[in-house]
A and B are shown apart, each in its own frame.
Chain A
Amino acid sequence: MGTPPLSFGPFLFLALLEGTVMAAVLALTAVGLSLVFGVMRVVNVAHGEFFMLGAVLAWFVTYYLPLPPALGWIAALIIAPLLVAGIAALADVLVLKRLKYDPEATIVATIGLLYILQQAALTFYGPDARPVPAPFDLRLQFPWFGYSGYKLFVVVAAAALLGGVWALMTHTKAGLIMRATQVDTEVARAFGINTDRVYTATFALGAALAAVAAVLIVPIQQAHYLMGGDPLLLAFIVVIIGGLGSLRGTVVAALIIGLSDGVISMFFSPTLAKIIATLLVALVLVFRPQGLFGARA
């Protein structure tokens, strides 16, 4: 075996950097799901497809709008979430409402939605993975290795976005209404809250958050019509580990999973590291089924 290029310190530093970025990505993809899950108690299997749609729309916007990369990207950050939110609201009104949010029926319906959205992306966007340029091009040169400045921007943006969602939920009337609906739909309705509209708004907001996450993340990945699968799984794990509907839990879980995945893979063969990380997640739930921060089972 040859000499490794990095001594342990820098190696660990890189693993932590990558882990933090992964945690940010996880938190971003999970926050919308957490919201929908928390308020509506609905398992939205199509959440990953809203994420995919956000990335694909970002490609369309940056490709067809004659703008410099930074402006094109900002345009995508506005347009993609709005369109995705519209699609989600439509799905809620046309389908989920008619199912009365019955858990099992919702799963089948959102699987159906997943097929429809994937097919739409394949038909109109195609099977290729396509790059979306980052809004800025910055490469940080550390003494031992180089690193993408944009990745660190994603971490900052994730923190800002999560802070925004937290403020929305705790400091605004809309947030109060959503929390009231979450705690007890019947009582909320008795107090004159139009819970139908709250549900539609929540579902649309959750989808929009997925799209925002996608626009942020797509410059460090690519837009591809099958890209929704992995975020869906990861987001589910983060939401459950964090505890249903707990924003703080979602963030902590994202950090734990992101960092441990990065560090475990330093010591084991990558595939083995994935197996261990997956089993750890399962065991956390087995011995703490309500998640880390959940109040109830």
Chain B
Amino acid sequence: MTKDLIGLSPSRRAVLKGAGAGLLTAGFVAPVWAQAAPIKLGFQLHRTGIGAAYGRWYERTAQAALKVVNDAGGINGRPVEIVFEDDATDPKRGAEVVEKLVSQAGCDVIFGPLFSHVVIGTAPRAAELKVPYLVCSEGYHVASGMLNRWTMQPGITDVRAQVSSMAPWVMANLGKKVTMVFPDYAFGHDHRDFFSAAVQAGGGEVIAQIAIPPTETSFTRYLPQIPADTEVLYHVMVGPAVLTFVKELGEFYGTGARPQIFGFIDSLEAVDTASPGLEFLEGTHFWEGHNRVKQADASADETAYRAAVGVDDNGASVSDAKDVSTYAHMFSVWETLHVIKAGMEASGYQSPADRQKFVEAVEAMTSMPASLAHVQGDKMFNGKTHQVFGHQFISKVEGGKLMRVHTTSLEDGMYPDGVDYTTQSF
């Protein structure tokens, strides 16, 4: 089990021994909490494997949120610690890791995973162990009813809601004839299905769908398949090859006529928008789950969050301006930890025997007002589908920076319930 001391080199692991840095001296816990056993949160972390670029920032965000929670008195008067365990972004190891965190480290709840296949591969074991499993994955797998009573997504809006809420603005402002480029696997298919449906419902038309195999490292040969009468090119790619994709798109169109371009920031998470070869993104639009570049109207909470996580006004690490964060997603870790705190306090959580009460307390949540705990903005939680709904942002690249031009309403992304988990047994 890997353990990190706050404030020490983040590349080394440490037990985040409860106390905030102020209370923590030379590695022993401040006397205030000497008697109270800590609440242990298990973090299923993509430290290695394909998700590692996200995992590193998820870990940093979790540590920052932990410090804030502990500085404010912990949970139910007890200090909190997080035990991080690497799942190698693999579903098989993911299930083993949850086992290890619960059975061996004695964690009270598990949270943190992003990649859908890890979530789906782990959820059955979490249910068997009867441990709350709070995912930060933006997948539609929770609200679709595929998982179980113990698995919840209270920290980030799912992809179905994200893309549905984007469609009206895209059609009203960019064009009605859309060509979609997406990875040929489940995440891309969610985009394909839900965005196409929303475009049709809005009177537009998806004229071509270009699915790119996950093993691809070069994309130029797919670009001729983009129809000439395309008004909007919608792109979403993930993985280490995304930068290549965007660069090749630029080479292909060059300075000639091109359609409007609308992308999901997933294509450029952890990538500097000012990288060489990306100049052509100027004037194109992106979905952002959370604005990477600090906007003029940023709240005090937003400023505090950036400082706590160690991110500058451009969304890069304060210690290395080239180290760009996964800003549009990682807030989910921060918010999920605060939901855990709220849920444990509402249920009077004392020990693993109260896990069921904790799940019921989270299910009872509804409105989550914007605050330091919900730094991305206010949200509405649907206890039946275990899914939260938040605002989405559309940003335009201006001078190499992502500037927000539109904010969706919560209602824009809502859809009929696909499941009622509260009727399922524990």
Contacts and interface: CB of A to CB of B under 8 A. Distances in A.
Interface of A: 1-6, 10-11, 14-15, 18, 21-22, 122-123, 126-129, 131, 133, 139, 141, 145-148, 220-222, 224-227, 230, 262, 265-266, 269-271, 274
B177 A2 contact: yes
Contact of A127 (B55, B177, B244): B55
Contacts of B230: 2
B240 A222 contact: yes
Interface string B28-63: 000000000000000000001110110110000000
A6 B276 CA distance: 28
B228 A128 contact: no
B27 interface: no
Nearest to B216: A270
B405 to A, nearest CB: 27
A270 B220 CA distance: 13
B364 interface: no
B202 interface: no
A15 B49 CA distance: 32
Interface string B171-188: 000000101000010000
Contacts of A18: 218, 220-221
14 contacts: A1-B227, A2-B207, A5-B224, A126-B56, A128-B270, A141-B254, A220-B218, A226-B49, A226-B240, A227-B240, A265-B222, A269-B211, A271-B184, A271-B211
B311 interface: no
B399 interface: no
Contacts of B213: 270-271, 274
B53 A128 contact: yes
Contact of B254 (A4, A6, A128, A139): A139
B231 to A, nearest CB: 10
B227 A221 contact: no
Contact of A1 (B208, B221, B271, B276): B208
Contacts of A122: 48, 52
A140 to B, nearest CB: 9
Contacts of A2: 177, 179, 207-208, 227-230
A15 B221 contact: yes
Nearest to A148: B251
Interface residues of B, number: 49
B277 interface: yes
Contacts of A14: 220-221, 224
Given A1-B208, A18-B221, A270-B213, A127 B56 contact: yes
A4 B229 CA distance: 8
Contact of A224 (B179, B223, B240): B240
Contact of A146 (B56, B218, B252): B252
Q: Give the 8 A-B residue pairs with the shortest CB-CB distance, closest first.
A: A2-B227, A127-B52, A2-B207, A146-B254, A129-B240, A5-B228, A224-B240, A18-B221
Interface of B: 11, 48-50, 52-53, 55-56, 177, 179, 184, 207-208, 211-213, 215-218, 220-230, 240-244, 247-248, 251-254, 256, 270-271, 275-277, 323
Interface centre among B211, B216, B221 (most CB of A within 10 A): B221
Contacts of B50: 226
Contacts of A271: 184, 211, 213
Given A18-B221, A131-B243, A221-B244, 5 more contacts: A3-B227, A6-B224, A18-B220, A128-B270, A270-B222
A2 B224 CA distance: 12
Contacts of B49: 226
Contacts of B256: 141, 146
Given A147-B251, A148-B251, A222 B227 contact: no
A274 B215 contact: yes
A101 B229 CA distance: 60
Nearest to A129: B240
A263 to B, nearest CB: 9
B192 to A, nearest CB: 13
Given A22-B218, A122-B48, A271-B211, A4 B56 contact: no
A133 B275 CA distance: 9
Nearest to B221: A18
Contacts of A148: 248, 251
Nearest to A10: B224
Nearest to A133: B276
A147 B223 CA distance: 12
B240 A265 contact: no
B224 A145 contact: yes
A65 to B, nearest CB: 16
Contacts of A147: 220, 251-252
Contacts of A262: 221
Interface centre among A10, A123, A222 (most CB of B within 10 A): A222
Contacts of A3: 227-229
Interface centre among B49, B222, B224, B251 (most CB of A within 10 A): B224
A141 B226 CA distance: 18
A145 B223 CA distance: 10
B241 A221 contact: yes
A141 B252 CA distance: 9
Interface centre among A1, A2, A274 (most CB of B within 10 A): A2
Nearest to B228: A5
Contacts of B275: 131
Contacts of B217: 221, 230
Contact of A222 (B48, B229, B241, B252): B241
A129 to B, nearest CB: 4
B227 A230 contact: no
Given A128-B270, A221-B217, A4 B53 contact: no
Contacts of B241: 129, 221-222
B324 to A, nearest CB: 8
B268 to A, nearest CB: 11
B276 A131 contact: yes
A294 to B, nearest CB: 27
Interface centre among B211, B217, B222 (most CB of A within 10 A): B217
B251 A5 contact: no
Contacts of A226: 49-50, 240
Contacts of B277: 131
Contacts of B254: 139, 141, 146
Contacts of B11: 123
B184 A270 contact: yes
